[in-house]
Copies of this chain bind each other. A is one copy, B any other.
Amino acid sequence: MKLRAKTAFVAAFAGMVLLALTASAACSDNDKKGASSGNADLDAIAQERGLTPEDMKHALQQFVPPGSHDEYVMFASGGHSGQVLVIGMPSMRILKVIAVFSPEPWQGYGYGADWGEQTLAEGNPTIPADTDLTWGDTHHPALSETGGEYDGRYLYINDRANGRVGMIDLRDFRTKQLVAVPNIQTSHGGMFVTPNSEYVHVSSKFPEPWPAGSYADLTEYQQKYRGASAWLKIDQATGRINLDESFEVELPPYTQDLADSGKKVSEGWGFIGSFNTEMATGGISEGGNSLEAGASRNNFDYLHAINWKKAEEVVKAGKAEKINGINVISLETAAAEGIFYLIPEPKSPHGIDVDPSGRYMVVGGKLDPHVTVYDFNKIKAAADAKDFEGQDAFGIPILKFDSVVAGQVEVGAGPLHTQFDSQGHGYTSLFLESAVAKFTLGDDVVKTGEAPFTLVDKIPVHYNIGHLAITEGDTVTPDDKYLVALNKWSIDRFLTVGPLHPQNFQLIDLKGGGTEKMEMIADMPIGVGEPHYTQIIKADKLKALDIYPAGTDPTTMTTSTNAIVAGEEKVERNGNTVEVWMSAQRSHFTPDILRVKEGDRVILHVTNIEQTKDATHGFAISQYNVQASLEPGETTNFDFIASKAGAYNFYCTEFCSALHLEMAGWLLVEPAGSAVAAP
Contact = CB atoms under 8 A, between A and B. Distances in A.
A80 interface: yes
Contacts of A659: 292, 296, 348, 366
Nearest to A69: B495
A400 interface: no
Interface string A37-48: 111011001100
Contacts of A290: 587-588, 590, 592, 662
A613 B491 contact: yes
A594 to B, nearest CB: 9
A623 interface: yes
Interface stretch (A259-267, A382-390, A470-478, A650-658): A650-658
B490 A614 contact: yes
5 contacts: A42-B56, A137-B627, A171-B498, A218-B666, A495-B539
Given A527-B95, A665-B291, A666-B281, A499 B546 contact: yes
A42 B39 CA distance: 10
Contacts of A506: 66
Interface string A577-591: 000000000011011
Contacts of A600: none
A418 interface: no
A489 to B, nearest CB: 4
B131 A275 contact: no
B631 A106 contact: no
B128 A623 contact: yes
Nearest to A28: B67
B653 A161 contact: yes
A466 to B, nearest CB: 5
| Prevailing SS type, chain A contact patch | loop
A424 interface: no
Interface stretch (A193-201, A205-213, A306-314): A205-213
Give me the 6 closest cross-chain CB pairs, A-B, nearest first. Answer: A96-B527, A59-B63, A173-B498, A28-B67, A285-B591, A499-B631
A205 B208 CA distance: 53
B649 A67 contact: no
Q: Report the interface size class on chain A.
A: 35 or more
A671 to B, nearest CB: 5
Interface stretch (A86-94, A237-245, A443-451): A86-94
A103 B614 CA distance: 27
A49 B68 CA distance: 11
Interface stretch (A338-346, A353-361, A370-378, A517-525): A517-525
Nearest to A105: B135
B592 A282 contact: yes
A422 to B, nearest CB: 19
A76 interface: no
A174 B276 contact: no
A283 B53 CA distance: 64
A489 B657 CA distance: 10
A62 B63 contact: yes
A161 B627 contact: yes
B173 A497 contact: yes
A172 B500 CA distance: 8
Interface in A636-679: 643-649, 651, 653-659, 661-666, 668-671, 674
A409 to B, nearest CB: 19
Contacts of A516: none
Given A56-B60, A206-B664, 14 more contacts: A37-B39, A42-B42, A51-B65, A93-B524, A93-B525, A97-B528, A128-B644, A133-B625, A134-B625, A285-B593, A286-B591, A286-B593, A291-B592, A366-B658
B61 A49 contact: yes
Contact of A58 (B65, B70, B520, B532): B65
A166 interface: no
Given A80-B620, A296-B659, A296-B662, A499 B590 contact: no
B81 A502 contact: no
A55 interface: yes
Contacts of A157: none
